[in-house]
Structure 1
């Protein structure tokens, strides 16, 4: 028996005073809302309520989870409550036992135990085996009292006390403990708990079973109330208290728990990092660059003092692996402020060129270390993850977890299903708040949807965070195994950061897939080898600059959206520095504040504005007095308002919402204005400076981040400029970017290549290019089965091209429905017969099961069966309609399909001459963007192609369309009427009327647009 629990054996029922019982203020079985779709307490509310009740010891036992133990420990310590770590173990709806960690070793054992069973998707054992570092508390009537080991107990709820008559209290009383579960706050939250259980079970509330829900009594009770309820069995209260006395959980929150060494020791890490940095210095700058050399040594000193040698080396190691595997990557974020990162090849952003200061990335005032953001192609990242797990040990590595939360609309939908409402009625409640205010169910749905807003819903995976811990990862967290296939922590980024476990971001994006595949296609199709990292060459290429100025950027990373294309034209962007700025000011916070428009104005008219203050002119002359970057905010806070760099950094982090609303943030705000007055700044100027800083909240980029994006944009622009066809095929094969695949095929056709349908003899699963010929990939054929495609391609690979239709049928044994699909797509056009002829023959051959020996099985070239058919004509219009149905877009010119007289409409090129006039035009829908006016009304921006294939931009104010309805009804043709407007050289139409136009059939009658 544990020394701490020897008192349990000595205590007999009834020999405690009321004062002693009153002092035993504890709970051993509390759940938070991280018992997902079960508990209703947040961590803060749980601990806060315990404090009000005078609780002195508290155990958090979430169901099969320890995800927020450290938040709980921190909250308890702030409230002077002793925290106990544990978990409640359940198999689906069956409560098995409670596990309490006696110490850190016990918490590690609990995490390993839960991890093992969750990852293997095994049921938890009815009776687990643990060392004395873990206490196990079983529910009543599951394990015989006489069978219990020294670390095992039975928990008795007050609703079960009447059953104790069967137990020998004198002999076994010290093995029984009071268990009063805490799950929800009150009866109102009990009903919310029931709703959550119904959502979890995917049943209507009336079908919820009693065993699915907790007992109605599972709320906090005052210790005095529990004393009364257990007055005949006071020893159970004392036993529970003694059990918690024996437990403890401790953690130094300030200590960095990320892997501390790359080699065997810190000294070796320091030497290696310096060696690599100096080698990179010579490669990047040459041997005699004084400023770069001085900066490298300065950074190395700070990196070493801050204990970040290993972090840099681990990142460098991952990059080296990527290079060996010929993976493309981009190092971005604040790490690009570091010249050491530049010299190590982690980033391609030169911090000297852009005057990026290292302190933005790492400085002694930072309480939270920064992290590198490394982007890899979506197709390569899993292999990078695998390398990290193998290289640094699966016991020390996990992906970072994240929790999706219930938001109001999603909660309404879930609750609507729980109450059995039809979808149309749920849609009405979601859209209007109430479909019928007098309806009690509707009111209930709205009320409980608001109540459960921000409740965690399920564990997900952080976009790219990976944890590499110094101690075994289960020292801190359970790890689960989601479909991704990599162990993922139950702690999220906020908990990980709180305890000093800092992530490395290994992110995924399709833009790098475009670049990687384009380089390979260029090598295969043109025989050219591209050094995609020769960024300086790309920056100074005049043709690339002209493509950027004219915004001919479809498919190019970060510069292809309608808003970005317009911005490039308004800035007449021709150079790297301007593109870096554009990458930042396009962000919503800047645009909505009006600063984007102000920046464009000042950029185009640099002599026609005044700086808000002379200090701002000195600090912000490069950006014309506009705070474009996060670094600008820090500089202004420090040099204009006199805040120290630590507070300036907190202010910068507040832009991401991490401190907003917290007292520290308000203190900094107050100090900002106080300092401004003491420094003699005008109150109105100080207010305007603050307003500009605030407008960046949640949206701003660091300058290094924008520069990293601009580097990748230049890589895409270079490829699109000199190898446009191969580049667009790569974009299509990586499943595009901002736009639909139809637009990317439109852009591909503009390069001059001949785009043909999928072909069973020439085509591949993905779109392929050979010389000037492109075959659409079979992956784009709607309804084509994977097994059929695999058979077609494998049979062709083994035995050569198909000779004719009959040969194709006999070699593939393709079902008639799938065969007809391929014929209608044009995949058997190599036969020289039109679709109608092929469909007739296919139907005959399949139904008659005509006997014929395939050519590769025969000694002789046996001719196919011949058919005498009437003349069957295939109209090109019918081909286009087939393509619309099966591919989602026509391969030829789409405009003959429009049921309209195209000659009466103006084009995009006509707009400059028609500025201020009312016009009528026709556009082929590309995309739209929803926005809100100052009055919070809906408005839209539209993007179309005109009849010449040029861009047509539209603005749709609220008065131009029916409220609550979009002016757009999917893809197709639209007649647009409105006034031509111009802003900074970019023309658009303020639409007053927008109506959809149908499609012509081959007979000339209109049909509905049914393409995907």
Structure 2
């Protein structure tokens, strides 16, 4: 295979080579999910001459069926158009923000981080083509503003009784956001009249509110923008032009409409009258032409961007502090635990083991990872106390420290396993220690972690369930109005999770949309055991939300 492994699973490759046929992959469930590949930036030529403009209102496909393009595609198109900066403002969360920040960093594009909050949601309106409620578009002014916005979304999610149904408290939003957020009046579900805009200025302060002008080709856009510009002048507020973007390029409009139909549980034909032109990213020159009647509205987007753009890496969390016995620091306590384990496990070759252990501990101390090892040790110790079977695995088996702590059962000194495969002084990220627990009793350990660290400082990892060929065919056939029987018949022909084979007999219209939809996020699931612990509340680093399983919260 060398360096040219095909983009298919080993099982699928073996089945094809052996001629036994491809074993069905089980669909698109989380049990068959794969990790995200690192972003490899394609060459994107930028224009030599541009009209300065920053897009302050854009949705990716992490608005879950309310945006057609990936965060990476939005970044690439923004670079191609020569935009000065780009804001990602997905609904009620930051699911696409890491990808957005990674891609923008590779391309040298300035990033703005925000969210469009949905207020007053009707929990029974899940299939409504135009759900009720108001929108509040919030842009974080800096890292502290980002943490406060995460907190607001977390509290709303935990206040709501259902997954995906946040309940915001306006007074809480004001307490958290005043002076830390730039609030735009938003889309058609935002503040569009004098009373609503005046309320925003009273709540968040005139210096933190801007009147948003959008033009999406609707017949009444110009008249509405005239009215908004007049209100802005009357209330002494700045105007700013945005695209209210839901797709990177015009050609993504068909997929955006199909996603809207899936979200509303209707076909595209049934959505006629509800679907509107899909707004896409535009260049500064295009925006200047569209908003030429509103002096300063386009240029002001760049002024705002210069004030509020920041690198997401500034929000990187720290490990939680560990309680250690009096007179100890985390590092001295880790050394003591390792000494106790080594006295028991390496009694036969204590001097040889000591040299290896001290070398490993020196690297751990230089990287300030003592707390990380103590956390894993405490979890494993609690499982052993409860007589729950558990076992560390993977590259952690290369660590004599992990062996001495009882995390793994492999003596890396005896088997001459290199510690550097597990942790190297040249790497900045924490090492990867995977611990398997008895699946019948794993929930006990999960709930113990919640009890020890609290609901605000611990959360499980969410799986992003993306479209695979089978689910993409089913949903796109549904959007195109085909019967349930046809949807099932076509989806059952699919036996690969990575591509739609040419021999799969489905209509071209379904195939085209399904191929565009593949790998787009469909919804969130829950990881079987991955958990996040941070020094500051997890909900200030990334929003926490309820899982459908009782007693679980996820990020």
Bigger relative contact order, structure 1 or 2 (CA pairs below 8 A, ≥6 apart): 2
2:378 is the alignment partner of 1:317 = yes
Q: TM-score, normalised by structure 2?
A: 0.76
Superposed, 1:482-631 pairs within 5 Å as 482-484=547-549, 485-489=551-555
Aligned to 1:182: 245
2:488 is the alignment partner of 1:460 = no
| 1:141 Cα deviation after fit | 2.1
Contact in 2 for aligned 1:260/1:307 (Cα 8 Å) = no
| 1:380 Cα deviation after fit | 2.2
Aligned to 2:180: 133
Q: Spell out, residue by residue over 1:495-551, the C-alpha distance to the aligned partner (whole angstroms, 9 max, x if none).
A: xxxxxxxxxxxxxxxxxxxxxxxxxxxxxxxxxxxxxxxxxxxxxxxxxxxxxxxxx
Distance 2:146 2:538 in 1: 12
Aligned to 2:212: 155
Give the one of 381, 384, 401 matched to 2:445: 384
Superposed, 1:203-222 pairs within 5 Å as 203-208=266-271, 210-211=273-274, 213=275, 215-222=276-283
Contact in 1 for aligned 2:253/2:278 (Cα 8 Å) = no
Aligned to 2:138: 99
Aligned to 2:159: 120
Distance 2:358 2:503 in 1: 67
Aligned to 1:270: 331
| Equivalenced residues, count | 464
| 1:32 Cα deviation after fit | 1.1
SS at match of 1:464: coil
Superposed, 1:340-419 pairs within 5 Å as 340-419=401-480
For structure 2, the residue ranges without an aligned partner over 5 or more in a row are: 1-48, 161-165, 495-500
SS at match of 1:105: helix
Aligned to 1:650: none
Q: Spell out, residue by residue over 1:272-304, the C-alpha distance to the aligned partner (whole angstroms, 9 max, x if none).
A: 111111111122232763322332222222222
2:309 is the alignment partner of 1:248 = yes
Give the one of 430, 433, 443 matched to 2:508: 443
Give the one of 278, 292, 305 matched to 2:353: 292
Q: Which has the higher helix share?
A: 1
Distance 1:169 1:199 in 2: 37
Contact in 2 for aligned 1:88/1:95 (Cα 8 Å) = no
| 1:47 Cα deviation after fit | 0.9
Distance 1:447 1:220 in 2: 22
SS at match of 2:532: strand
Aligned to 2:36: none
Q: Spell out, residue by residue over 1:735-785, the C-alpha distance to the aligned partner (whole angstroms, 9 max, x if none).
A: xxxxxxxxxxxxxxxxxxxxxxxxxxxxxxxxxxxxxxxxxxxxxxxxxxx
Contact in 2 for aligned 1:330/1:376 (Cα 8 Å) = yes
Distance 2:314 2:245 in 1: 27
Give the one of 235, 239, 245 matched to 1:172: 235
Q: Kindly tell me: are residues 332 and 263 of structure 1, through their superposed partners in 2, closer, same or farther at Cα, counting changes over 3 Å?
A: same
Contact in 1 for aligned 2:50/2:82 (Cα 8 Å) = no
Contact in 2 for aligned 1:428/1:434 (Cα 8 Å) = no
Distance 1:486 1:280 in 2: 34
SS at match of 2:361: helix
Contact in 1 for aligned 2:241/2:298 (Cα 8 Å) = yes
Contact in 1 for aligned 2:319/2:371 (Cα 8 Å) = no
Distance 1:95 1:272 in 2: 52
Distance 1:34 1:376 in 2: 32
Residue range with higher mean Cα deviation, 249-258 or 133-142: 249-258
Distance 1:245 1:316 in 2: 45
2:244 is the alignment partner of 1:197 = no
2:293 is the alignment partner of 1:235 = no
| 1:252 Cα deviation after fit | 3.9
Q: Spell out, residue by residue over 1:134-178, the C-alpha distance to the aligned partner (whole angstroms, 9 max, x if none).
A: 122223525534444222333221353313554355433534322
Q: Spell out, residue by residue over 1:861-920, the C-alpha distance to the aligned partner (whole angstroms, 9 max, x if none).
A: xxxxxxxxxxxxxxxxxxxxxxxxxxxxxxxxxxxxxxxxxxxxxxxxxxxxxxxxxxxx
Aligned to 1:30: 58
Q: Spell out, residue by residue over 1:840-873, the C-alpha distance to the aligned partner (whole angstroms, 9 max, x if none).
A: xxxxxxxxxxxxxxxxxxxxxxxxxxxxxxxxxx
Q: Kindly tell me: are residues 142 and 462 of structure 1, through their superposed partners in 2, closer, same or farther at Cα, counting changes over 3 Å?
A: farther
Distance 1:393 1:382 in 2: 16
2:294 is the alignment partner of 1:224 = no
| 1:322 Cα deviation after fit | 1.8
For structure 1, the residue ranges without an aligned partner over 5 or more in a row are: 1-20, 490-1012
Q: Kindly tell me: are residues 266 and 259 of structure 1, through their superposed partners in 2, closer, same or farther at Cα, counting changes over 3 Å?
A: farther
Contact in 2 for aligned 1:187/1:216 (Cα 8 Å) = no
Aligned to 1:763: none
Q: Kindly tell me: are residues 362 and 396 of structure 1, through their superposed partners in 2, closer, same or farther at Cα, counting changes over 3 Å?
A: same
Aligned to 1:837: none
| 1:46 Cα deviation after fit | 0.6
Aligned to 2:26: none
